[in-house]
Structure 1
Amino acid sequence: MESSLLSLARCSHRVMLKLDAPTSSYLRWPLRLTSLSVLGGQRMHLMTKEGMILESTSVIRKRFMFYEKTAKLYTKKVNNRGLCRIAQVQFLLFKPLGGFGIQRACFGVQPARDIVKSDETYVISQRAFLQGKFDLLFSRDGIIRILEIYKELDDGYMTVMSLLFERGEVAKMLDFHRNLAEKGLLPRIFDVNQFLNGLCTGNQISAAFDLFCLVLEKGPEPTVVTYSILVRCFCYQGRLDDASRIFELMLKKGINPDLIMYSILIDGFCKEGRMEEGTQILDRALKCGIKPDVVVFSSLMAGYVRVGNMLQAFKLFKEMLKDGVTPNVVSYSTLMNGLSQSGHILEACGIFSRMLKQGLEANVLTYNSLIDGFCYLGDLREAFCVYEHMMSSHCAPDVVVNCLLVKGLCKIGRTVDALRFLLKTVSEPNSMVYNALIDAWCRLGKLGNALKTYRLLILHNLVPDVATFTLLIKGMENEGRFLEAAMLFFRMIKTGFNPDTITYCVLIDGLCKNKNVLAGMKMCDMMHENYTHPDIYVYNVLMNGLCKKGMVDELPKLLGKLFRKGLKPDIVTYNTMMSGFCSAKKISKAIELYQTMLREGLEPTVITYTILIDAFCKEGQLDEATLFFNVMLKQGSVPNVVTYSCLMDGYFKMQKMENSIALHEEMLRNHISPNIVSYSVLIDGLCKEGHLEEASQAFHDALRSGLLPDVVAYGILIHGCCKAGQLDRAIMLFDQMLVKGVKPDDLINFTLAECLHGEGHPAYSSELLQLLSKRDFRRK
């Protein structure tokens, strides 16, 4: 087949070319050139494969229908084969167009810019020519010969830099720019910005910074756009300090930032949870007369949502409306996401209705927030109502939506319905859908079904990804099968998969939970050996493991290592360390960390304040605990049920029952639902103060609110009844506890036995307890 085609091409289409002198070139074309172009593509491939460049060129139509694929073939064949060969190919290309001989341009007789240009064909062929010519010039004389043809090009800087950029010749790009500047041939800053942006987009940060420094040194004069490109790049990399330095340098140069620059910086700080610094940037913008737009407000709201400060997020939303800035879909979706994650799904629906009334169309992210919120609460009926609304609004659900619904169904035990939903809505399930099922099974504690789903994935000829193995490793660790999790991890590596940071983080977390922190530290070192850099989440997991083991003296060392790796601690890092120091009764160290956190511009969360309040209450330092409680309120953080419980317990321990009851009532007024822990704190305090009736009332309030008292709550009230000499009520509570399916602990058994013995029934006490404890445990 190949030989016959080559023979046909040779016989029917011959090209004669003489290139002894620039004026003696001639070309004889066959009479039926158009008919031969039908098999042009196939013949071109065969001819070039045989090295017949001139013959392959002649397969082109008379009207010169030249394709990009052909241009790449030419470039490949003529690279590094000499200037004359390039001239031959280009001459053949342009002669049918009536243009001048390219060979003349190559030898300097005729400028390249004077060649007749036709359609986009010229652009393609000129690029092929330049690539070959630049290869030749670079191989011989480097950047000097490139400068010789610079003036002959229509857009020389863009042409040369584009070719160098595509080839990854960053060093030559810098050399070319430097040589141009030294010869006084400064390009437009607009062109420089394009390449600066290209380097940043390609994650070549070091090269981008070198080009930026070269522009500062040699010119042209950078604009606010130049600085914005680099600042955006540093913010995206999380290098906010470097971004701030570039910003300050711009100010020193006398260049005024615009709204875009301020937006980039504010968004960067908000994404890192550094809200105080983000707000300071906004204040600077306002002082310069720049009014924030919807993008700036949305970034700030997203930042406050990220740190759990919904109160401040809504304050900004109201401020935005007051300033006449119309919220967009992103603004509304941000608030809805925050409300859904905090369990306030009804408020999120209210925001959704307001958005629709404004005439805005919800996007996939908007619906995701609502569906995620309803699934989190286990309200799948409403979740599917939102899904139906999404479908009727012609907003096509993505894989994330389907996965959320699958997880939601599995969470409430409707796994069969989840499978039916998948078969009905997903025509070709991919690994992401199977991962959703595996994740759901693991969350339900049914690892066996998760492994069956994994085998089903293999059976359908799908390739598992790193996320699949990560989910299975996590599922094994949740069931306490740490050895199997480690074996799966190493089997995954042996199979050819490269674990990502999340996989390592999950395995390290499992090792720490298994009280094997040293193995977790070694696994962190293994990440470096495998060129996977630990992120702040990995270090947070290690710090939590050290705290749980009581190894708080190792925390400063790990913190120093974190800094040396170029990472910055986040709010979780500080909260973890403060919790560890408080548990070790080193509150002064925790306060030092709190002050350091403030200096770093991180905003304390409700968890931060709760850790400190709890520590002070346990030490009996109620004044300090109350002080931090008031500071938290002033900062706009809303105390949660844990915060109130800690403070109530502190007041009861200091025999300040009125303060504790007042806090409980305040919690109810603020629509914060008490949990069984807060009720247990209240019951315990009332019993110790001798107010058994009030304690019983609080116990029944918990039952009426749908809470199931645990063994601690029952134990407190039984002990209170025994102490008050109300044996009948204590036995009734003990019987009720068994009926509810709550298994008594040794403390309850001992308390009740001692009470019976004290009432003069030593034999009856042990007999009664044996009888009661033999009853079946049933949950009603």
Structure 2
Amino acid sequence: MLWRVGRGNRQSLHQLTHSLADRFVPSSFRTPHPLPLTCLRPPALSRRRAWPIPISSVSPSPNPMPINGHPPTHDLPSEHLSFMGGPHSRSTASQSLQKQTMNILVDPDFLYAFSDSRKISRFAQKMISTPHTHRALLVLVAAHYYGCHLGKEVYEAVACRLAEARKWRLILALARLQKRQSGRQTARLLDWCIHALVEMSQFTHLDRALEWFEEEGLPPSRRTYHLLLSGHLRNRNIVKAMDVIQRMLKAGLGVDTHTHATVISAYRTLGPDVVVQTRALNALEDADANTSIRILNALLQFSIDTRDTENLLSLIRHFDFGTFDVSRLSFAVRPLRRGAEGAFSDLIRASSRSHASRRFLPDIATYTILVHYLASQGDLVSAHGLLGQMERSGLTPDARFIAALIRLYFIIGQPSAAISVVSAVCADVEGFQAGLRSIHLAFEPQGGLPLPHVLPKPTVEIFNALGAGLLHLCGIDGLQACLRLMQMCQLNPDRHTQALLESHLVHAEGFTMADVARVSKELSLNDLSLSRLSHLLASSLRCHFHSAKRSGWNNTPPGMQRLLPTQPPSHLAQTFTAGKSFDPTAGLHLVITHENACIRPVVQSLTDRGVFADHRTFALRIRYEAVIKGDMKAAKNIFRIMLDRGLHPNEYHYTALMEGYAATGELAAAEAVMNFAERGGIRPNCVMHTILIVGYARERKPERAMRILRHMVATGVRPDVPAIDAITSVFFAVGAYRLARQTLLSLWPSVAPLPHDFERASLKMLVFHLRNVYDGQVSSKKLSHRERRQVEGFVEDLVLGGEITDGPAQENLMYVKGHDTLRREPSTTTFTQSDYSISVCRDGR
């Protein structure tokens, strides 16, 4: 069994590694019980207590044991064995495990395995691929105890494998172990520690990262500064990110193409900044191939986030897709932009022409981004062509690409194809095919399904994509079936799985947050992420937002909106816009007192880690101030704070402001917000148009509502069920019931086929059936050219028919409160240019 350098047998080492791994790892893995999702009840479910893994740092053994000797059992430090016990090292069962460990440690084969540090490195990396990842550190502890010298390459190789397995906490423990065993830490391992802190959102510890290098007498490298820069940008902390750049310049390391790639890759958490994108695009002139692909992938993602398909098409021309014609992809051109964004689009087109002779081969991340985009467009034909080109290029798909492919099949209505992909990935898992039979779906034959020849191993990300699709089709039963399949693959749910469950329970099943918290305990997760906090806040405020919504059907007399109480409910306290309590919830946790038991632990953890508020929490706070409290001044103040932090507003922030103005009857200001959003590169969506239509319905102004509908259709936005419901309520509000019915039936085919016997159904019954369609509506694709012409023709027939009148005298008249009465006067409250002066300056437009 001996293996020597240059003369050994690699197969002997492989067999030895497997035999030692079998002795470290029990033959039967402990798997959690299936989640009883079919028995969802308010009483608390049983919870398995999760103990932290006791990772101890150990010092070098003063009397290392010879490699061929037999150690006395009483000399082996107890902390060395704490790695073996895992989360149950304190129990009585762990004592028997320690005795079994001692028998292993005195085995001659085991002692021979510790004769070479390269064997130790391979053995430790082998342990990382098992369910007992933390035992990889036990291998290093035991090797050091027996006198084997471990070089820095051993620790760095193990750290790299731990990062691939996303075991970030063990990387920190590994760094402490290296410090104890070798007396110092290496720069490479310290960089891995910074990377681990960023992935765990431990941003407060990043402030001391450069001090670690000073203590070890090591100069920080460019990679170190880039990791810190990426971490602060991901935390939306512009001030500290700029400080890192200044420190890097002071250290004599200038800004290069890798710096631009780091900034543009991490800047998605802040939003699309034209200046940042322009600098990154200009850096392509001097960047190498890998850096150029990173930059282009980030720019592609920005274009998709802002639905800017014109820039997306120009950026794709930088890549060489071989025989696949990118013009086959379904692109719709946006309206012409103005200002700095238009100049940036011209720069992209010029760059694509200048790089015509130097095109880059796309990597797997490029294909993943495009598959996600094609899924949103429902373009299966282009996706299959793209997949074929990826096969011809020889790229191996990763878990993210497979997850994107699964989402594509669910969106286009081919769930059996998505399940076939998962089945191919898990073909080597015993009993998996039998487990698939528990998913009761109508399987249609899939002829010629294009799948890569080499598939990745099953991951929780793949099953989360499967679970999201099954949850939509089969409800809780679908998610439970997905969890059973995950158990067969020895995978545990993560925070994304928990978010899927909780979102479904709140929105589909009507659970309260207290009931959801009790149910989700069965997943044994301690998710203290910012995304979970945003979900908790949104769920807690959901009923208050719903009660504050005003419909065109339940119409109040014009002007009564200003008499409606704008005070928040009794349990919503006064909030503040500054102070230490602002992050990470943008001050929202101060107003939710009845849900503090669920929210307080998450808020405290994020506060301790120095996590800043993100786009979602700012959007919730703006909407709370605008819609629930009716305080537009406070809402705009929160909006300016967000801009000052460098966060670029998206459609949710503009929508929250529009909803607040519409609720108070200031529809001119609401329209001004939508216009500013369009100038800022945010294309108005269906929700923005619907808010205005509902507002004009309450004002009994059908002509203006039809003008908004014409604008929506002209820009290619497909009306959804709420939009059709709103435009129907406009005519109902003015008593034009025949027009209301005609409008409803004419717009219905754009969202679903007309029901049977619709000619005999009343308007009330038709509206009832229309709202039932909304539950099954998935796709929000743009209107085709033919559909747009049909809807535009119908709208023009209504307007030109002379049946919709609004009167020019009412153009700028609004109802205001007078002394014991209501009087009409010209409106002086509008959303002016000065209100968004900060937005214009920050965006450079």
TM-score, normalised via structure 1 length: 0.53
Identity among equivalent positions (%) equals: 15
Matched, 1:637 2:534: no
1:521 equivalent in structure 2: 419
Question: Per the alignment, do residues 515 and 477 of structure 1 end up closer, same or farther by CA in structure 2, a change over 3 Å counting?
Answer: same
**CA distance in structure 2 between the partners assigned to 1:762 and 1:217 by the alignment:** 83
1:591 to 517, 520, 535: 517
User: Any conservation in 1 of the 2:113–2:119 contact (CA below 8 Å)?
Assistant: no
**CA distance in structure 2 between the partners assigned to 1:762 and 1:440 by the alignment:** 42
Matched, 1:300 2:300: no
Gaps of 5+ in 1: 1-142, 144-156, 176-184, 190-209, 423-432, 447-461, 776-780
Q: Deviations over 1:277-322 (max 9, x none)?
A: 6556767888999676644442233234445x38447435466478
Q: Secondary structure at the match of 1:719?
A: helix
2:321 to 434, 437, 440: 434
Q: Secondary structure at the match of 2:192?
A: helix
1:546 equivalent in structure 2: 470
Matched, 1:566 2:490: yes
2:279 to 363, 367, 382: 382
**CA distance in structure 1 between the partners assigned to 2:313 and 2:650 by the alignment:** 33
**CA distance in structure 1 between the partners assigned to 2:422 and 2:367 by the alignment:** 19
**CA distance in structure 1 between the partners assigned to 2:218 and 2:394 by the alignment:** 52
**CA distance in structure 1 between the partners assigned to 2:293 and 2:715 by the alignment:** 37
**CA distance in structure 1 between the partners assigned to 2:402 and 2:316 by the alignment:** 30
2:292 to 392, 401, 406: 401
2:593 equivalent in structure 1: 623
**CA distance in structure 2 between the partners assigned to 1:507 and 1:497 by the alignment:** 15
2:262 equivalent in structure 1: 369
Question: Deviation at 1:270?
Answer: 5.8
Matched, 1:613 2:533: no
Question: Per the alignment, do residues 504 and 275 of structure 1 end up closer, same or farther by CA in structure 2, a change over 3 Å counting?
Answer: closer
Work out which structure has the larger RCO, using CA pairs closer than 8 Å and 6 or more positions apart in sequence.
2
1:333 to 226, 241, 245: 226
Question: Per the alignment, do residues 717 and 211 of structure 1 end up closer, same or farther by CA in structure 2, a change over 3 Å counting?
Answer: same
After TM superposition, the structure 1 = structure 2 runs for residues 274-289 of structure 1, keeping only pairs within 5 Å, are none
**CA distance in structure 2 between the partners assigned to 1:749 and 1:173 by the alignment:** 70
Question: Per the alignment, do residues 231 and 734 of structure 1 end up closer, same or farther by CA in structure 2, a change over 3 Å counting?
Answer: same
Question: Per the alignment, do residues 321 and 773 of structure 1 end up closer, same or farther by CA in structure 2, a change over 3 Å counting?
Answer: farther
Q: Give the paired residue count.
A: 551
2:806 equivalent in structure 1: none
Question: Per the alignment, do residues 700 and 625 of structure 1 end up closer, same or farther by CA in structure 2, a change over 3 Å counting?
Answer: farther
Question: Deviation at 1:539?
Answer: 1.2
Letter in 2 for 1:527: V
1:315 to 198, 207, 216: 207
**CA distance in structure 2 between the partners assigned to 1:230 and 1:543 by the alignment:** 35
Question: Per the alignment, do residues 368 and 595 of structure 1 end up closer, same or farther by CA in structure 2, a change over 3 Å counting?
Answer: same
Matched, 1:751 2:751: no
Question: Deviation at 1:565?
Answer: 1.9
Of the structure 1 ranges 617-626 and 165-174, higher mean CA displacement relative to structure 2 is found in: 165-174
**CA distance in structure 2 between the partners assigned to 1:762 and 1:562 by the alignment:** 50
Matched, 1:511 2:404: no
Q: Secondary structure at the match of 2:418?
A: helix
Q: Deviations over 1:21-68 (max 9, x none)?
A: xxxxxxxxxxxxxxxxxxxxxxxxxxxxxxxxxxxxxxxxxxxxxxxx
**CA distance in structure 1 between the partners assigned to 2:633 and 2:179 by the alignment:** 45
Question: Deviation at 1:549?
Answer: 2.4
Question: Deviation at 1:242?
Answer: 3.4
Q: Deviations over 1:640-681 (max 9, x none)?
A: 23234345656778x5446x9757634532434443323333
User: Any conservation in 2 of the 1:543–1:577 contact (CA below 8 Å)?
Assistant: no
2:9 equivalent in structure 1: 165
Question: Per the alignment, do residues 405 and 517 of structure 1 end up closer, same or farther by CA in structure 2, a change over 3 Å counting?
Answer: closer
Question: Deviation at 1:497?
Answer: 11
Question: Per the alignment, do residues 772 and 508 of structure 1 end up closer, same or farther by CA in structure 2, a change over 3 Å counting?
Answer: same
Question: Per the alignment, do residues 361 and 507 of structure 1 end up closer, same or farther by CA in structure 2, a change over 3 Å counting?
Answer: same
Letter in 1 for 2:641: R
Q: Secondary structure at the match of 1:163?
A: coil
Matched, 1:692 2:665: yes
Q: Deviations over 1:605-656 (max 9, x none)?
A: 3222222222232256943556357444454333323234345656778x54
Question: Deviation at 1:547?
Answer: 2.4
- Structure having the higher helix fraction is 1
Question: Deviation at 1:334?
Answer: 1.8
Of the structure 1 ranges 491-500 and 525-534, higher mean CA displacement relative to structure 2 is found in: 491-500
Q: Secondary structure at the match of 1:609?
A: helix
Letter in 1 for 2:284: Y
**CA distance in structure 2 between the partners assigned to 1:692 and 1:613 by the alignment:** 27
Larger radius of gyration: 1
After TM superposition, the structure 1 = structure 2 runs for residues 49-448 of structure 1, keeping only pairs within 5 Å, are 162-165=6-9, 217-219=110-112, 230-235=123-128, 240-246=133-139, 272-273=165-166, 294-306=187-199, 309=201, 311-312=203-204, 314-317=206-209, 320=212, 326-338=219-231, 351-352=244-245, 354-360=247-253, 365-366=258-259, 368-370=261-263, 381-388=278-285, 391=286, 397-401=288-292, 404-405=295-296, 408=299, 413=310, 433-434=320-321, 442=329, 444=331
2:695 to 715, 720, 726: 720
**CA distance in structure 2 between the partners assigned to 1:168 and 1:443 by the alignment:** 55
Letter in 1 for 2:483: L
Question: Deviation at 1:354?
Answer: 3.9
Question: Deviation at 1:542?
Answer: 0.6
Letter in 1 for 2:619: S
Of the structure 1 ranges 435-444 and 354-363, higher mean CA displacement relative to structure 2 is found in: 435-444
1:580 equivalent in structure 2: 504
**CA distance in structure 1 between the partners assigned to 2:657 and 2:211 by the alignment:** 40
**CA distance in structure 2 between the partners assigned to 1:728 and 1:623 by the alignment:** 44
1:703 equivalent in structure 2: 675
**CA distance in structure 1 between the partners assigned to 2:716 and 2:365 by the alignment:** 38
User: Any conservation in 2 of the 1:692–1:720 contact (CA below 8 Å)?
Assistant: yes
Question: Deviation at 1:358?
Answer: 1.0
Question: Deviation at 1:747?
Answer: 3.2
Question: Per the alignment, do residues 245 and 317 of structure 1 end up closer, same or farther by CA in structure 2, a change over 3 Å counting?
Answer: closer
Q: Deviations over 1:185-237 (max 9, x none)?
A: 97899xxxxxxxxxxxxxxxxxxxx9999556455876998756533453477
**CA distance in structure 2 between the partners assigned to 1:441 and 1:349 by the alignment:** 42
**CA distance in structure 2 between the partners assigned to 1:374 and 1:227 by the alignment:** 40
Q: Secondary structure at the match of 2:483?
A: helix
User: Any conservation in 1 of the 2:426–2:458 contact (CA below 8 Å)?
Assistant: yes
User: Any conservation in 2 of the 1:407–1:436 contact (CA below 8 Å)?
Assistant: no
1:604 to 525, 528, 531: 528
User: Any conservation in 2 of the 1:676–1:709 contact (CA below 8 Å)?
Assistant: yes
Question: Deviation at 1:332?
Answer: 1.5
Question: Deviation at 1:540?
Answer: 1.8
Letter in 2 for 1:591: A
Question: Per the alignment, do residues 652 and 738 of structure 1 end up closer, same or farther by CA in structure 2, a change over 3 Å counting?
Answer: same
Letter in 1 for 2:406: I
Question: Per the alignment, do residues 269 and 594 of structure 1 end up closer, same or farther by CA in structure 2, a change over 3 Å counting?
Answer: farther
User: Any conservation in 1 of the 2:630–2:660 contact (CA below 8 Å)?
Assistant: yes
Q: Secondary structure at the match of 1:240?
A: coil
User: Any conservation in 2 of the 1:579–1:590 contact (CA below 8 Å)?
Assistant: no
Q: Deviations over 1:460-488 (max 9, x none)?
A: xx999999998997787565354786799
**CA distance in structure 1 between the partners assigned to 2:181 and 2:594 by the alignment:** 41
Gaps of 5+ in 2: 20-65, 71-102, 304-308, 334-359, 429-453, 545-570, 572-591, 745-793, 803-845
